[in-house]
Copies of this chain bind each other. A is one copy, B any other.
Amino acid sequence: MSIGCNDEPGMCLSLTDLFARIGDKWTLKVVDALVHRPIRYNEIHQAVAGISQRMLTRTLKGLEQDGLINRTMYLTIPPRVEYELTELGQQLIVALQSLYDWALVHQQAMSAARANVARTAQDEKLPPGHD
């Protein structure tokens, strides 16, 4: 059982590198916006709350570079650009599912642990034996 992030150089590039690529602030959300069907630039912009044009364009470019999405441009007036997941992109979604499932089940445990630590830290700050 290992995820091989400190083994040989070749192994390290896999998970760590994948996270470096899709683990940023927006990529996952943008990908999620494309899950169901091809979708236009502005639609993504609306679907992904809070993203700026700059970041949306950057994220889409990155995903396109990695072969996870396709960009299709229609030279109409006004112009129209659609983005869709490639086969590779769809398979990534599938691979992410198990992690998603884990997160659904265990995020509560993580939050609880975090809250517990926070509470303990609070206690430490109280004057000892002030009863």
Contact B100 A14 (CB under 8 A): yes
Q: How large is the interface on A (under 10, 10 to 19, 20 to 34, 35 or more residues)?
A: 35 or more
Chain B nearest CB from A34 CB (Å) reads 10
Q: Which residue of B lies closest to A12 (CB)?
A: B29
Chain B nearest CB from A115 CB (Å) reads 10
- Per the 8 Å Cβ criterion, residues 7-40 of A in contact with B are 12-19, 21-24, 28-29, 31-33, 35-36
Contact A97 B3 (CB under 8 A): yes
| A91-B98 contact given A6-B29, A15-B28, A18-B107, CB 8 Å threshold | no
Binding site for B on A (CB under 8 A): 1-6, 12-19, 21-24, 28-29, 31-33, 35-36, 47-49, 64-68, 88, 90-104, 106-107, 109-110, 112-114, 116-117
Inter-chain contacts of A19 with B (CB < 8 A): 19, 22-23, 28
| A3-B28 contact given A106-B88, A110-B68, A117-B64, CB 8 Å threshold | yes
